[in-house]
């Protein structure tokens, strides 16, 4: 498996029950590095070819640009930016910032980074779930999410979005803690 020898990424395995996934999420809330969650339902990934990155209106989404660019540079993977279908322009602005970062790293390193922008059918509140639902359409090898900063009432009652994605995903899910003070992996 490609994750086991990477010092920059933490690997977490668990069964796909809500309780087990939530335990992993709680355990990883303060990590300074990205972490990959794998359940028995997910297929083993031997090579990263396509990374799906759902992008919502939230400002912390742009942190995922550094991670997906790093992974694409190291593996040659193609990045799919799944832009939320919102009425406002925030998701589009976040995608623009991510593309700017991808292009800058590509120019700086001389390593071409392949990406595309796909308009999601769902809005910011459901774009992460859409990524899990459409992972087969995208032939994804990884879904990259931002972990919830704080749990709101709906997260406490129904569980955070990332938990639902992990439970539905057939490929590993990488999470990034969005707080700047906890972020350490960069290009």
pLDDT at 150: 54
Could you tell me the pTM of the whole model?
A: 0.87
Q: Tell me the pLDDT of the chain (187 aa) as tens digits.
A: 566 666 678 888 888 898 998 898 888 888 878 888 998 888 888 889 999 999 999 888 888 999 999 999 989 999 999 999 998 899 999 999 999 999 999 999 999 999 999 999 999 889 999 999 999 999 999 999 988 655 554 545 555 678 888 988 999 999 888 755 544 444 3
Task: Determine how many CB atoms are found less than 10 A away from the CB of residue 128.
Answer: 27
Q: Which two tokens stand for residue 117?
A: 């922008």
Q: Which residues contact 5 (CB under 8 A, 6 or more apart)?
A: none
CB-count exposure of residue 173 (10 Å: 0-12, 13-18, 19+): buried
Q: What is the CA radius of gyration of the chain?
A: 15
Task: Determine how many CB atoms are found less than 10 A away from the CB of residue 153.
Answer: 7
pLDDT at 184: 44
Coil, helix or strand at residue 26: helix
- Supply angle C-alpha 145, 161, 178, rounded to 5: 40
């Amino acid at each position: 498996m490609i994750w086991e020898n990477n010092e920059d990424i933490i690997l977490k395995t668990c069964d796909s029950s809500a309780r087990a996934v939530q335990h992993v999420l709680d355990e990883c809330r303060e990590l300074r590095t990205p972490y990959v969650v794998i359940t028995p339902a997910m297929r083993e990934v031997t090579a990263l070819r396509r990374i799906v990155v759902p992008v919502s209106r939230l400002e912390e989404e742009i942190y995922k640009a550094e991670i997906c660019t790093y992974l694409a540079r190291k593996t040659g993977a193609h990045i799919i930016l799944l832009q939320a279908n919102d009425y406002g322009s925030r998701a589009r602005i976040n995608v623009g910032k991510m593309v700017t970062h991808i292009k800058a790293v590509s120019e700086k390193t001389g390593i071409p980074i392949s990406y595309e922008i796909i308009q999601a059918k769902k809005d910011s509140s459901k774009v992460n779930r859409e990524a899990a639902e459409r992972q087969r359409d995208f032939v994804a090898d990884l879904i990259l999410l931002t972990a919830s900063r704080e749990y709101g009432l709906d997260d406490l009652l129904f569980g955070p979005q990332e938990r639902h994605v992990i439970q539905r995903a057939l490929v590993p899910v990488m999470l990034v803690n969005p707080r700047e003070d906890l972020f350490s992996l960069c290009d």
